[in-house]
A and B are shown apart, each in its own frame.
Chain A
Amino acid sequence: DVKVTQSSRYLVKRTGEKVFLECVQDMDHENMFWYRQDPGLGLRLIYFSYDVKMKEKGDIPEGYSVSREKKERFSLILESASTNQTSMYLCASSLRGHFMYEQYFGPGTRLTVT
């Protein structure tokens, strides 16, 4: 079974803090993704990576950066957290050619910025 794990289920941070969200997958997938999910807006792609040290902007990259130093690990960084980044963050992974293959999601991190 594919397993995608995220470092925290719940996180509370203050405005202006630097926040790191970690994601690890154990299936040797090439592609990894970060989404945020908000009521009424569905899932929106922040960034994705198709290989180590490679990254591509998604639909809403502003205010975020990512890091992929190892194939199994993909980190989302909020350089200076703001209240409008309060959201559910979901990590996913898939084989290369993600639009053809299944995406496997982690359990999510609910981030609250106060």
Chain B
Amino acid sequence: KNQVEQSPQSLIILEGKNCTLQCNYTVSPFSNLRWYKQDTGRGPVSLTIMTFSENTKSNGRYTATLDADTKQSSLHITASQLSDSASYICVVSAHGSGNTGKLIFGQGTTLQVKP
């Protein structure tokens, strides 16, 4: 069964600190892995998208890593800011037959950054 599991479910950190969010998946055949940021009451916004051959990808203070062998990804946030308070969703894309496919969504990690 295709699944994406994220941990922790929620996290509170102080402004300026770093943090790492985890995503484990059992999705086959794998196409790519995405991280989205979703502010409260808003739609998700893409942070990174990584294919099988990419180990790391950065977007400003956000750095995603991918280990396709262990089927794990992490999102590292450096020098957190209050505006980083949001839900972070890991999404894995599964390749289907022909030009089809499916996205499998994790349940998200809620991050709260406190001053």
Binding site for B on A (CB under 8 A): 4, 40-45, 90, 92, 96-100, 102-108, 110
Chain B residues 22-47 with CB under 8 Å of chain A are 31-32, 34, 36, 41-46
Chain B: CB-nearest residue to A106? B43
Interface residues of B, count at CB 8 A: 25
Would you give the shortest CB distance from B30 to chain A, in whole angstroms?
10
A108 to B49, CA, bound (A): 22
A99 touches B49 (CB 8 A): no
Binding site for A on B (CB under 8 A): 31-32, 34, 36, 41-46, 49, 89, 93-96, 99-103, 105-108
Which residues of A are found within 8 Å of B95, using beta-carbon distances?
Answer: 99
Would you give the shortest CB distance from A42 to chain B, in whole angstroms?
4
Which residues of B are found within 8 Å of A97, using beta-carbon distances?
Answer: 99, 101
Known: A40-B107, A42-B105, A43-B89. A99 touches B100 (CB 8 A): yes
B105 touches A43 (CB 8 A): yes
Which residues of B are found within 8 Å of A40, using beta-carbon distances?
Answer: 107
Would you give the shortest CB distance from A6 to chain B, in whole angstroms?
8
A40 to B101, CA, bound (A): 24
Would you give the shortest CB distance from A5 to chain B, in whole angstroms?
10
A110 touches B41 (CB 8 A): yes
A103 touches B103 (CB 8 A): yes
A97 to B36, CA, bound (A): 19
A100 to B50, CA, bound (A): 10
Would you give the shortest CB distance from A110 to chain B, in whole angstroms?
7
A30 to B31, CA, bound (A): 20
A4 to B107, CA, bound (A): 23
